[in-house]
Chains A and B, each alone.
Chain A
Amino acid sequence: MIDNRGHKHPLTRIIREMVDIFGDLGFSVVDGPERELEKYNFDMLNIPADHPARDMWDTFWVHDKEAKAKGRSYPERTVLRTHTSPVQARYMEEHKPPLRIIVPGKVYRYEATDATHEAQFYQLEGLMVDRHVTLANLKGVLTTLFTRLFKTASEVRFRPSYFPFTEPSVEVDVTCFICKRNGAECRVCKGTGWIEIMGAGAVQPSVLHRVGLSPDEWKGFALGMGIERVAMLRFGVDDVRLFHQGDLRLVNQF
């Protein structure tokens, strides 16, 4: 009865499930650097310097004075990427559509940590670009994703939102898989029947234009979600920090 089994981290388990589901829908895994150029993290995504949209991301800046002195500097200022979205621009610069990619990876936010906030966490980005891609396709992909991920027939609902790199932008809610929309007392959805799960939208035309694609010719959708949020919902973990503290009392339960 000694537990000699190994254990996969719950976050990499969730990522893997998403990779499998998206893989069935034709999306391939892509990655990018965690230390990212300002250009890809912001400017290419329609978030210019001196624009209030930058306030949406609390950013860690990397100090590279010593490296610069030794001539080993990056070509411009770097950040710890605040989202996996820079990979959208990096990938589109190198690959012609049609394309379907997902980017699971670690991201960073300069914010005080508590039970629901971490300075580092995991995101999964999705991007589809083709001649005809609509918000209805986005809804179709997400409905399939959540139905398989939460192992119960799920619906998604869009609400208006704003991200500089998508337009229209939406917040995505998914039907509560805990109470199946029947729980007035449900602790997860608080009786609303819906769980806020991610942000998404149609790719903003300037994002295509900056990577040399004609916004008249190509359309796309992009999505981004926090892996910890999904893992916390699925497993009932109540403190996001547990995922990053290297605590076997968490990991060995999976």
Chain B
Amino acid sequence: MLISISWLQEYFKDSLPKAEEIARVLTMHSNEVEGIEEITLPSGAKDMVLDFKVLPNRAADLLCHYGLAKELGVLLDRPLKPRPVAFAGVEGLYTKDKLTLAIEDEALCLRAAKRYAEDVNVLPSPAWLIDRLAAVGQRSINNVVDISNYVMLSYGQPCHTFDYDKLAGDSNMKEVTVRTGKRGERIIALDDVEYALDDSVIVIADAEKPLDIAGIKGGKSSMIDEGTKRVMLSCCSFSPASIRKTAQKLNLRTDASKRFENNIAREQVALGMEELSRLMARLTGARIAEDVIDIFKNKRERHVLTTTRERIIDVIGCDVSASEIGNILERFSVCAGWEWKLERDTYVVVVPYERSDMYPDLLRDEYASGVEQDLIEEIARVYGYENIPAVLPIEVERPPVLPTYYRSEQLRHFFIERGFSELLTYSFVDKRASGAVRVENPIASDKKYLRTALAPALLERLLASRSQKDVLGIDQVKVFEIGHVFDEEGERIHLALAIEDLGHDHDAKEDAKQVIRDMENMLNIKNIKYDLYTAGGIKHGIVETDLESLVALLPTPVAGEPLPEQGIVSTAYEPISPYPHTIRDIAVWMDGSREALAELLRDKAGSLLVALTHFDTYEDKVGGRSSHAFRLVFQSKDRTLTNDEIVGIMKEIDEAVKAKGWTVR
């Protein structure tokens, strides 16, 4: 949510600290501020805007400026201005003379409040209101519509205004019902889209038709326009789960639906109605009825939570003093409407309604919400997590290693010793193998299925890696993977390996089988079951085995049994170049060690040399000289190399070789 600092400032007498300091305090003690931006408002004034990331548990009370002001008051130990005196409507003008209100299902609509207003002047909004909305990225429409928006962004309570004269019924008496939609009913919402309703959708309706999609979006038929004179002010509270389901079904997520589905407290309806009325009177000159029709049968007591200093210390592990706890609770009491007292050693705290996260949640387990842990968290975060020391738990014996993990590490070690590289590939595949499980919502059309085997991906990677052998400085591709595979029955952990066929008389399949035999020797078992992958008549040696079945045959590792060492991890990673590489071979008659030649080549080839491999030696028994052949692989990180560059480098190498008294063959 975007938060305007000038808007926040309205709730405080003393000036607030700089935006950066507010951001720091919120990030360290509340929710994270992800950005700060200075903006110029339509009036030309400046404002600072915070991008405040409200997490789901606080969406009920922090998705508004007043809610955040209370939070900030607690954190900065700075009281808010007192609330303005209660708004009074026009004496003798009654809502009850203008409309009737009924709620059909009080499990779906927890509370509904309506108030009548007349002599409304629909005008452009004043500059200050345009500025406020602009600061948080909202466009001004007219004073009446802007007021509803402003009340929600100030106090969190979504509210709506209906053009009274557009409601069906007698010109001075309307029948308003909060009910569920009927199959076949349709409504055109303010976004000009027509929605089909059914009995899962809550609507506010007049005697004939639905007027809006309750808690989500207003309807076109009763919208405010330039000619609007009489208005029905509306504030309600709905079942969070119902609003969430409807918003998902209609694919219509709005500022209002977000607040309702996050369980904004039903008690906030009164505050919303009061502020809506006050602003309507002030900005549109409206005469507001004295009374509010407010159907509110779901009343409840404020929730009481208790904890002790001992229990707080038991959770956070930090010796917070009684006076510190008292100080924190007092700040909540002064700035955020909490009440607290200390009874013997127990803190008894009355939580204000708007803190839905600290009230029991009927959807959830009894321990899930409205519990002592909620209170401890509040005290701990205000106290400051930075004050918690780092204390290691008491030492215990090293536990036994999970057999599949132990064997996986042992096998990785085995494969790496034999020159295999470990790959991790995607679980998603494009082809439907028999028995393959399908993903209901695939991320792409070529990622619809879960892999039933590792071999196909290993083959694909083997083929792709062949063209990189020079850059990699390898003469054969050998890879393996350990990973989960899936079918309708369940999932298994597989191990697969792939050995490149080198042509001529090489039998890669036999090599792969030999690796299995070596595994059998290493693990001291016989007859490992495996599949030889032969799809498309490939010559490469690819085998796959079920690691879990294998592990089941092996003894369980005992506690304290060490895993094979994996050696020091390199940290010098070089980004992979997307540009092509160029190869040059060179053979040199020389005396001395071939390392001297390698050194010369590396030195002269410079930073463009990405691989240098020795591939041939020829001894001249008579002359006492040797010829060494090297392959140089050149590649740039940021461009395609030109022939001229390579020719230049090779010329320098030639000269350096000559200078040593050696000869290029």
Contact = CB atoms under 8 A, between A and B. Distances in A.
Contact of A236 (B317, B440, B450, B573): B573
Interface of B: 27-32, 55-59, 240-241, 244-245, 261-262, 313-318, 363-368, 371, 373-374, 376-377, 380-381, 385-386, 388-393, 395-402, 404-405, 409, 412, 415-428, 437-443, 447, 450, 457-458, 460-461, 464-465, 468, 471-475, 477-479, 481, 483-484, 486, 488-491, 563, 566, 569-576, 598, 612-615
A136 to B, nearest CB: 3
Given A7-B416, A110-B441, A134 B484 contact: no
A28 B401 CA distance: 6
B428 A248 contact: no
B385 A159 contact: yes
A209 B573 contact: no
Given A26-B393, A134-B315, A209-B365, 7 more contacts: A6-B478, A16-B566, A52-B261, A100-B399, A134-B313, A137-B392, A139-B391
A132 B310 CA distance: 12
Interface residues of A, number: 113
Nearest to B598: A1
A194 to B, nearest CB: 11
Interface in A121-173: 128, 130, 132-137, 139-144, 155-162, 164, 167-171
Interface in A1-60: 1-14, 16-17, 19-20, 23-31, 33-35, 46, 48, 50-53, 55-56, 60
Given A48-B364, A50-B241, A135-B316, A246 B423 contact: yes
Interface in A178-237: 202, 204-206, 208-210, 215, 219, 234-237
Contacts of B419: 4-6
Given A48-B363, A235-B573, A56 B56 contact: yes
Interface in A45-101: 46, 48, 50-53, 55-56, 60-64, 66-67, 70, 72, 80, 100
A251 B576 contact: no
A219 B315 contact: yes
26 contacts: A1-B613, A7-B422, A13-B569, A16-B409, A29-B405, A31-B404, A33-B490, A34-B484, A56-B56, A61-B440, A63-B437, A67-B488, A100-B393, A119-B428, A135-B380, A135-B385, A137-B317, A137-B392, A160-B28, A206-B364, A206-B365, A244-B424, A246-B423, A246-B461, A246-B481, A247-B461
A-B CB proximity, top 9 nearest: A134-B317, A136-B317, A6-B416, A158-B385, A28-B399, A26-B396, A206-B367, A162-B55, A246-B461
A251 B393 contact: no
Contacts of B598: 1
A140 B402 contact: no
Contact of A167 (B374, B395, B424): B374
Contacts of B385: 135, 157-160, 168, 170
A2 B392 CA distance: 46
A204 B404 CA distance: 30
A141 B425 CA distance: 32
A116 interface: no
Given A2-B473, A26-B398, A140 B390 contact: yes
A52 B56 contact: yes
Given A31-B405, A215-B367, A25 B393 contact: yes
Nearest to B414: A6
B391 A136 contact: yes
Contact of A3 (B399, B405, B473): B473
Interface string A243-254: 111111111111
Contacts of A64: 437, 488
